[in-house]
A and B are shown apart, each in its own frame.
Chain A
Amino acid sequence: MERRNFKNLNIGGAGIRGIVGPGLTPANAGDFAAAYGTLNTGKTILVGIDPRGSSPMLEGVVTSNLCGCGCHVITGGILTAGMMHFLILHRNLGGGILISGGHQGAGWNALVPLDESGAYYEYFRQRELFDLYHGKRFYQPGPDDIGSLKTLPPEALDAYWNFLASQLNVPAIAGAGIRVVADFCNGAGAAYGKRFAELLHIDLVGVNDEPCALIPRDPEPRPRSESLIRSIIEPLGANIGLVFNRDCSRLGIVSDRGEPLSEEMTFPLGADYFLESRAPKGSTVVTNVCSSRSLDETVRRRGGILVKCRVGQSRVIDRMRSAGAVLGGEGCGCFTTTAIHGFDGFLMAGILLESIAVRKQKISEQIQKLARYNMVKQTIPCNSPNAYRKLRQLCREFEADGRISEEDGLRFDWNDGFLSLRLSNTEALLRLISESTSRELAEERAWKVRQYWERSEA
């Protein structure tokens, strides 16, 4: 019997994403764009891409189908996620579609729908969009109402850089003589690294900074992808290493001593500085249910209130709005303020650079002040149509000794740590996070899950 991959294509909060060819095709991408166009007919929509091999093809499908549904399209070419979030709101547009596989590897791509505020589609709007997509009945105007196609003028980005400067203490950063090693993974950020360095007057050493289809490493900012630049940080005398994903919406950090930090520490580092310097006591911070407890303690120490939501960047942004939070983010290496309705790698990097400049403290010193847990993060291949049933059965394995939460996947809490098991929204994977004060305990719990899962797969 043909073995079918159930996760070649995924439709969820992050739009439609899949492996180009067996999953994501011009046909389903066209239907998705037509569904989006049907919801937004007559509006002006910004389309930006991450320079993947399939992006020109998908850009053609998206722009033509949007115009075919009566949308006026502005093509922005290569844009980071942050630029998309900002430009849509700033230019008073009707929405946008970002064509980017973000953190996913070569072969993947995605269409990420954005609303008129530049934010990801919230849950109910997603449902409406997906119903249209599945129903395949799209608005088809006559020839007089077909949309137009324009290109974003390059000077339009000046407003973005002015915005970024307004969010940061530029004189402090500029005066600190900071040297940065930045790995852009040849993604959208690579096209703008130089401008970022000029804005903040920093000395930026670029790595993988050619925006092109070649994806030189795992785009997810994790210690293993950060380790590529760790060896040059100290010899170059750099203050920090920045490791971005392809659409510049996630950030991993390498300390001035060349230590690749867990991506879980990006948010606590940013939150620690932001809450101390810019937010009043009692401010609300939003994160997802499986982020490191390091953040819980950071927020508590700075007198903030932590609100948890389900995993997904769109959910965090949505919850930030409803909770009136000043800061939100996830353990995958992203955080944001209320200034922008999404995650912007340049803004995150700017805040961390500001923390070095204003506090006059190295990253290696700042990280020492944060609670650090032992965390095991694993992905277990899960190409099963019955994965949710299997996941529920796991409750029994751990029910005796931990508090169970089913807010998103399964989470077991103990005094020393937690275990989170969640089926990926975007890939054929079970994501396992086991955190504890004791490395042995964290590893043992992860091992137990893995053993159970593999046994039931066999």
Chain B
Amino acid sequence: MNTPIVNTLKFSESGVRGIVGAGLTPRLITELAAAFGLYCGGGRIAVGRDTRTTGPIFEQAVAAGLLSAGCQVLNLGIVPTPTIQFTVHKLGCSGGLAISASHNPEEWNALKFIASSGCFLGPGEAAELFDLYSQGSLPCRQENNLRGVKEYPSAFEAHRNRIFSAIDRDAVRKSHFRVAVDCCNGVGAYFSADFLRELGCEVFPIFDEKDGKFRRRPEPRPENLSRLSETVLQNHCDIGFAQDPDGDRLTIVTEKGIALAPDYSVVLAVEQLLDGGDPGPVVVNTQTSRLVEYIAGLRGCEVKSARVGEINVIEKMTECDSFVGGEGNCGGVIARRIHPGRDSFTGMSLILELLSFTGKTVGEIVGELPPAYILCSRFPASPTVGKRLLEEMERRYQQYSPVAFDGLRIDFPDGRVFMRSSNTEPILRLHVESSDHAAADALRLRFETEMKSILE
């Protein structure tokens, strides 16, 4: 039976995403790509994709749209999204397009728009692009003004070399780490094992089949990483890394097989960056664990908050002249010295560097941090319903002076609760953090119950 056509499209600064066929069609992709080509004023546009089975089709649709706008298409093929961002900046492209729905399930796909700086379009720029798209009937260049498609298969190599040049690779190589890596059948299946071997690691890859079928839920959250934990334990690994399908998010599993919250990837990377002399302040999104404040505080460094969304963090980093940042809720490590964007490959390198410099295990490093129990839940809710719920919650918890800067954050004496409508899916996220396990559980239960009752 055919899937009923329900519109799942989501236009935001994080790109345009939807379920393929149910809203997201080749025609829409071609028109968006044409609008983007026009928005960039022609020139060369780098295009890459993740391993999703619909990727090759959308790659064709994107190329058609960009060519019609007079652009030259630089086709990077299957590469991590951070590689596309890096390439756009390195080669001076007019822009870039990533065909990837990142952490969304297999049936989703998306177009993400990258400016010539290598960063995603900001909310204002994205609005301009969508205005252009909405005008419809975009002009198509005549044949004598059309350019072609050029293949560029070595993009990841250049990206990898940039990361290696920014860390002490010899120190990492000498440590001969045993590393398990869960590639989620995404771009990591093509690059991660070799990348880690270049760092002297013995690698135990899982979910590295290259057929574009995701064999676990694509969000690298602890509840999805049981197989990685087993692999770490069975092979006596020093660490386990889990990526999302387009390689920008990272989660860690300790040598004891414990899957940590994604925030720990950012916390450990921030520690290594600050110790390596990268200038602060540290910029993280509002949904990142308080542990970042602890780590930065120890080093006399300030922490600044940005709205959720990679481009919001980057813009804040640029504004504060910061080189250290991240998005804890999704395990997005940002080392601006390497390139301004979330990058799991940068994250893996920095965390291995930290292990080799300190000579400690991940478990020991985490054990030295204050305890933090981070729990997450999600509820199906449209942005409008989500907004109403947040307004109601703000009224109910007025005595705790909630922060409504981006979503709603309520700081209790025994923990922190954060609620926010997703930019990428029609869901509402609940994020609870406490230094006490029981308190975290209690807070989650309380808010889950309240949110459900409001939504009903």
A binding-site residues for B, Cβ under 8 Å: 19-22, 24-27, 30-31, 34, 52-54, 56-61, 63-65, 67-68, 106-109, 140-149, 213
Contacts and interface: CB of A to CB of B under 8 A. Distances in A.
A142 B21 contact: yes
Nearest to A215: B143
A128 to B, nearest CB: 21
A141 B56 CA distance: 17
B144 interface: yes
Contacts of B142: 19-22, 107
The 3 closest A-B pairs by CB, nearest first: A142-B3, A60-B64, A64-B61
A67 B140 contact: no
Contact of A68 (B25, B67, B149): B25
A233 B12 CA distance: 64
B19 interface: yes
Contacts of B137: 27
B56 A106 contact: no
A337 B188 CA distance: 54
Contacts of A31: 27
B261 interface: no
B252 interface: no
A19 B64 CA distance: 16
Given A20-B140, A30-B27, A64-B29, A56 B20 contact: no
B26 interface: yes
B146 interface: yes
Contacts of A22: 142
Given A54-B143, A57-B68, A149-B56, 14 more contacts: A20-B140, A21-B139, A26-B140, A27-B140, A52-B143, A56-B67, A57-B146, A67-B26, A68-B57, A106-B144, A140-B25, A141-B21, A143-B54, A213-B143
Interface string B28-56: 01110010000000000000000001101
Nearest to A109: B143
A27 B136 CA distance: 10
A144 B54 CA distance: 10
B60 interface: yes
B65 interface: yes
B144 A149 contact: no
B67 A141 contact: no
Chain B interface extent, by class: 35 or more
Contacts of A64: 26, 29-30, 57-58, 60-61, 64
Contact of A143 (B3, B26, B63): B3
Contacts, number: 137
B64 to A, nearest CB: 3
B384 interface: no
B141 interface: yes
Interface string B115-142: 0000000000000000000000101111
B5 interface: yes
A109 B142 CA distance: 11
A26 B64 contact: yes
12 contacts: A20-B141, A26-B65, A31-B27, A34-B27, A57-B68, A60-B63, A61-B61, A68-B26, A140-B5, A140-B25, A142-B5, A146-B57
Contacts of B141: 20-21
B2 interface: yes
B107 interface: yes
Given A54-B143, A107-B142, A61 B30 contact: yes
Nearest to A101: B143
B27 A68 contact: yes
A58 B143 contact: no
B147 to A, nearest CB: 9
Contacts of B144: 53, 106-107
B439 interface: no
Given A20-B143, A106-B144, A56 B63 contact: yes
Contact of B57 (A20, A67, A145): A67
B22 interface: yes
A25 B142 CA distance: 9
Nearest to A37: B26
Given A68-B25, A106-B144, A143-B22, A63 B67 contact: no
A53 B146 contact: yes
Nearest to B147: A53
Contacts of B3: 141-145
B21 to A, nearest CB: 5
B22 A142 contact: yes
A360 to B, nearest CB: 46
Of the candidates A56, A68, A109, the one having the most CB atoms from chain B within 10 angstroms of its own CB is: A68
Contacts of A140: 5, 21-22, 25
B20 to A, nearest CB: 4
Contact of A26 (B2, B34, B106): B34
A351 B6 CA distance: 56
B31 A27 contact: yes
B148 interface: yes
A42 B200 CA distance: 48
Contact of B143 (A26, A107, A146): A107
A149 B21 contact: no
Contacts of B21: 68, 140-143, 145-146
B97 to A, nearest CB: 13
Nearest to A150: B56
